[in-house]
Amino acid sequence: MPDIKLGSLFDGIGVFPLAASRCGIRPVWASEIEKAPISITKRHFPDMVHLGDITKVDGGKIPPVHVITFGSPCQNLSLIGNRSGLAGAKSSLFYQAFRIIQEMRDATDNLYPAIAVWENVMGAFSTNDRMDFRAVLSAFSDTEVPMPPSGRWGNAGMVRGGTPDVCWRLMDAQYWAGSRRLARRQRIFVVADFGG
C-alpha cells in the first residue's frame, strides 16, 4: 500500500488522524492552539508534528501531504451561535485553511494535497441567506457555484467546475455508532478531489 500522508488543521483531539490511521493513512502534522487537545493528540500520535496557530502556517513551507482535513470553528455557523457565518471572527478561519491548501498546491505544482475534507455543523447550510455554503463550494471548486433552484442546499450534492470535483453530504453520528447509542449530531462533510 502506498504511504498516504495526512495533515489536520483545527485538529482538536485528533479525530481525523485517528480515523485516517485506522485506514492505513499516516498523520504527519497538525495545527491546533489549545493545550489540552494537543496533549491528547501527542499521546496518540507522538511522531506527528504540531504546527501551532493556523494563521502563522505557510502551506508552501510545511511537508506536503496527500490529504488535508479540517473542521474550522463552527461558533458563527451553528444554529445556536450568533449566525454571523463565515464573516464571523471564528468561522472566518475557514479561509485560513483554504489559504494553506492553495499555498501547498502552488508550492507543489498542484500535486498536494490531492484531497481536502471539511467538516462542519448543519447550520453552515443556512448562514448568510445560504450564501456561506455557496462560498465554501465556490472556493473549493474554483468556480462560481449557483444557488439551487429551490434556494436550499440538499443534504448531499456534487459540483464539477474548476480543478477539483467537490461533493458534500450531511451525516448524523447516531447512524455510525454501531451498538452504542449516540445523540443526534448532524455534520456536513465536504470532499474536494483535486485529481487524487
DSSP per-residue codes, 118-160:
EEEEGGGGTTTTTHHHHHHHHHHHTS-PPPPTTSS--SEEEEE
CB distance 73 to 93 below 8 Å = yes
3-state secondary structure of 24: coil
- For the chain, count helices (H), then strands (E): 4, 8
Domain parsing of the chain, residue ranges: 5-193
pLDDT digits (tens, 9 = 90+) for 13-24: 999 999 999 999
Q: Which residue has the cell 502551506?
A: 59
Nearest residue to 91 via CA among 62, 63, 132, 47: 132
Q: What is the pLDDT of residue 80?
A: 82
- Whether the per-residue pLDDT at 1 is higher than 80: the answer is no
Say which CATH superfamily domain 5-193 falls into: Vaccinia Virus protein VP39 (3.40.50.150)
The 10s digit of each residue's pLDDT in 44-86 is: 999 999 999 999 999 999 999 999 999 998 888 888 877 888 8
Residue 179, pLDDT score: 60
Predicted model pTM? 0.93
What pLDDT, on the 0 to 100 scale, is given for residue 2? 83
Q: How confident is the model at residue 90 (pLDDT cuts 50, 70, 90)?
A: confident
- pLDDT higher than threshold 70 for residue 182: no
How far apart are alpha carbons 196 and 194 in whole angstroms?
A: 6
For 124-142, how does the pLDDT look when each residue is reduced to its tens digit (9 = 90+)?
999 989 999 999 999 999 8
Check pLDDT > 90 for residue 41. Answer: yes
Helix (H, G, I), strand (E, B) or coil at 45: coil
